[in-house]
Amino acid sequence: MASEALQAALTERYDALSTSLRDRVVTFVLDAFDSLGGYRDRDAEAFVEQVLPTVLAAQQHMGQITDAYLSAMIGDMLGVSTPAAGVELPEALRGVEPAEVYRRPFVTAYTALSKGKAYAAALGEARTRLLSITETDMQLARTHAARQSMQRGGVRFFRRDLRGPGNCALCTIASTQRYRVEKLMPIHPGCNCKPVPIKGDRDPGQIIDERLLREAHDAIAKGIGASDAGGRTPDYRKIIITREHGEYGPLLAVARHDFTGPKDIPGS
């Protein structure tokens, strides 16, 4: 019971810190975008110079608090002392220079304007893309740090812990599965799930929460009129899948959604 209380306290503290950090960064970046006097190339350069140092520092901070949280959790699970040893996060978590990534909202605006959309609508699309970029980068910092921390702690398997006021069907169903530590946790834009280590070396099996999986299927059935927790009608193993994204890594996706190639992405 004492161990459960400690883990609950660690989780509550980590959730508060990580959520506050993400929200502060998002607010800072969006405020900087909204306060620009214009959105031409020179404004894009000034914007990147203003926000990038803060974004990169926040990613490193997310890595540090994630490492501290998971080290404490693993130590409690194993009954040993496992102090955080630090994680190494590259600036280019996506494999693309961050300055290029944070110019993309401006390209989105230019593309929208070129298609005849109103100025306000174009900026709205750019702002939405900027929000997605910033949130995703913070989540990538979390998942990269978590993999390093859990591997160092000797953990073999982990699960997804649903966080936030609401969770999409992708995350809900994915949270019923176990994952191997050597692989990054699959994410999607806007995802705020966190990786949680599973105690022990024995593989708990693919499905670790049958009840939640049944509830998810029941909820989906109300929307589409058919459900089968065994994955036959429809086969959810083929509907909700993990794809390898060129920048994010493992990406939760719906099978019918196609990816664009590099030539299809404006400004890539």
Write out pLDDT tens, residues 245-262: 776 677 676 655 444 433
Greater confidence (259 vs 239) lies with 239
pLDDT above 70: residue 264: no
Euclidean distance between CA atoms 140 and 132, whole angstroms: 12
Q: What is the pLDDT of residue 125?
A: 97
pLDDT above 80: residue 236: no
What is the arithmetic mean of pLDDT over 60-80? 91
- pLDDT band, very low/low/confident/very high, at 239 (cuts 50, 70, 90): low
* Range of 96-105, 146-155, 193-202 with top mean pLDDT: 96-105
pLDDT in tens, 120-174: 999 999 999 999 999 999 999 999 999 999 998 888 888 888 876 566 777 787 7
What is the residue range of 52's domain? 2-264
Euclidean distance between CA atoms 171 and 228, whole angstroms: 18
Please choose, from the candidates 208, 237, 137, 144, the residue with its C-alpha nearest in 3D space to the C-alpha of residue 182. 144
Q: What average pLDDT does the structure give for the chain?
A: 82
pLDDT above 50: residue 226: no
User: Which region among 16-30, 103-117, 214-228, 230-244 has the lowest average model confidence (pLDDT)?
Assistant: 230-244
Euclidean distance between CA atoms 68 and 71, whole angstroms: 5
CA atoms within 13 A on the CB side of 179: 27
Across the chain, the runs of DSSP E, i.e. the strands, are 157-161, 178-180, 194-198, 240-245, 249-254
Q: What is the pLDDT of residue 165?
A: 58
Q: What is the pLDDT of residue 118?
A: 97
pLDDT-above-70 percentage for the chain:
79
Please give the tally of structural domains in the chain. Answer: 1
